[in-house]
Amino acid sequence: MSLSELAAELDARDPLARKRAEFDVDPELSYLDGNSLGAPPRAVAPRLAEVVGRAWARRLIRSWDEGWWEAPERVGGRIAPLVGAAPGQVVVGDSTSVNLFKALVAAVRLRPGRHEILLDGGTFPTDGYIADGAAGLTGHTVRRVPVDELAAAVSERTAAVVVNHVDFVSGRLHDMAAVTAAAHASGALAVWDLCHSVGALPVRLDELGADFAVGCTYKFLNGGPGSPAFLYVASKWLESFDQPLAGWAGHRDPFAMSADYAGGRGIRKARTGTPDILSMLALDAALDVWDDVTIDEVRAKGLALGDFFLRCLDELLPDARVLTPREHRRGNQIALSWPDAGTVMAGLIDRGVIGDFRPPDTLRFGLAPLYTRYHDVLRAATELRTLT
């Protein structure tokens, strides 16, 4: 069977093929950059029109008492099952960077007398910037360590370990169970960045004992450009959680306008400022696509798409240097090391295949199972061969 015939058969048998109709995706494009910005679910535009045209234009300030004010916790509750969290531990708001700052400073405050932060050596740059900034304010030092060496590096000096669940360049999936257990064995806390795993693969924060986690919602959750991020605080830490950006939205009685801060109960205290309602409710609408699908179904297709992409590369471009693990220790992306990668990706985009380029020489192809087709994967490999 040819690759073209196999792609057609796989698309015909795909149990998630029906989900593509729920997204506004240009049928002429093969969009393989959902790991940077997810495609818009069709439900988002009418929801925003309703929010602007009725809730804002007609109800005006009354809408704060009609669902707006509680939206960060309510939308966080919709994300909780996707990260393996029981209710009441996830809140939506601010950016990933801001939430990481909150989580990391709170974590080191829970471990006084320890002056080291261990950081995933291949971390997404903003995580490193935030860790350095937090360390400078709290008197800690940051040590960058390859994830494979974290278990051996953590010690009685370590207050917190900050790790990306999926490496943003290679797509490698890191072992949350092993890293978290190693941190806890030395008395440190584990802070996880889930930006490239939430909505792509099962995450088991509660089961594996993670302490804190953050993640964005504009990749595999399709919340839209700049949609608010989320913060997870394990239930065991909610009472003692002392976040550094105490703001009025996290106050126990925000409208009392008290001069003194008293944190709200539970996950509410993780809030800081006024929620971004338009982006928040766009995300809320985007999450509707999960109502009739499980993360296990999405993971199964994501792995199958990756396996098919690797087969296409093996047959069409056998000399391609694949950075992503071939075994299933990966997220939903395939990354290649490629000469003149920036120019090559520009050429692919001109041909209707949209992936992305990471300097100096990496081509990344994100596989969003809710709308990516096997045809899109084959087209990417075929066009890449044409450009070589």
Active site residue 364: yes
Residue reference for tokens 């959750």: 221
Given 102, 172, 219, 268, which residue is catalytic? 219
Q: Which domain holds residue 372?
A: 3-31+293-387
pLDDT digits (tens, 9 = 90+) for 134-193: 999 999 999 999 999 999 999 999 999 999 999 999 999 999 999 999 999 999 999 999
Active site residue 296: no
pLDDT digits (tens, 9 = 90+) for 95-137: 999 999 999 999 999 999 999 999 999 999 999 999 999 999 9
Give residue 227's pLDDT band: very low, low, confident or very high (50, 70, 90): very high
Q: Which amino acid is at 304?
A: A
User: Last residue of a domain, which of 247, 268, 290?
Assistant: 290
Q: Do 171 and 198 share a domain, yes or no?
A: yes
3-class SS letters over 227-260: CCCEEEECHHHHCCCCCCCCCHHHECCHHHCCCC
With respect to residue 40, please indicate whether it lies within any of the assigned structural domains. Answer: no
Give the pair of three-digit tokens for residue 385.
Answer: 């061969």
Q: Do 165 and 21 share a domain, yes or no?
A: no
Q: Do 275 and 236 share a domain, yes or no?
A: yes
Q: Do 220 and 94 share a domain, yes or no?
A: yes
In three-state secondary structure terms, 381 is helix
Q: What is the Cα–Cα distance from 18 to 371, expressed in whole angstroms?
A: 9
pTM over 0.85: yes
Residue reference for tokens 């960058």: 144
With respect to residue 242, please indicate whether it lies within any of the assigned structural domains. Answer: yes
Given 14, 120, 127, 193, which residue is catalytic? 193
Q: Is the pLDDT of residue 286 over 90?
A: yes
Give the pair of three-digit tokens for residue 145.
Answer: 């360590």
Q: What is the Cα–Cα distance from 176 to 188, expressed in whole angstroms?
A: 14
How is residue 57 annotated by DSSP? T
Q: What is the Cα–Cα distance from 249 to 267, expressed in whole angstroms?
A: 11
User: Last residue of a domain, which of 263, 290, 317?
Assistant: 290
Active site residue 218: yes
Given 31, 168, 218, 241, which residue is catalytic? 218
Q: How many domains does the chain have?
A: 2
Active site residue 124: yes
Q: Do 79 and 146 share a domain, yes or no?
A: yes
User: Last residue of a domain, which of 242, 261, 290?
Assistant: 290
Given 31, 124, 168, 212, which residue is catalytic? 124
pLDDT of residue 388: 86
Given 299, 330, 364, 379, which residue is catalytic? 364
With respect to residue 37, please indicate whether it lies within any of the assigned structural domains. Answer: no
What is the chain's alpha carbon radius of gyration, rounded to the nearest angstrom?
A: 22
Active site residue 14: no
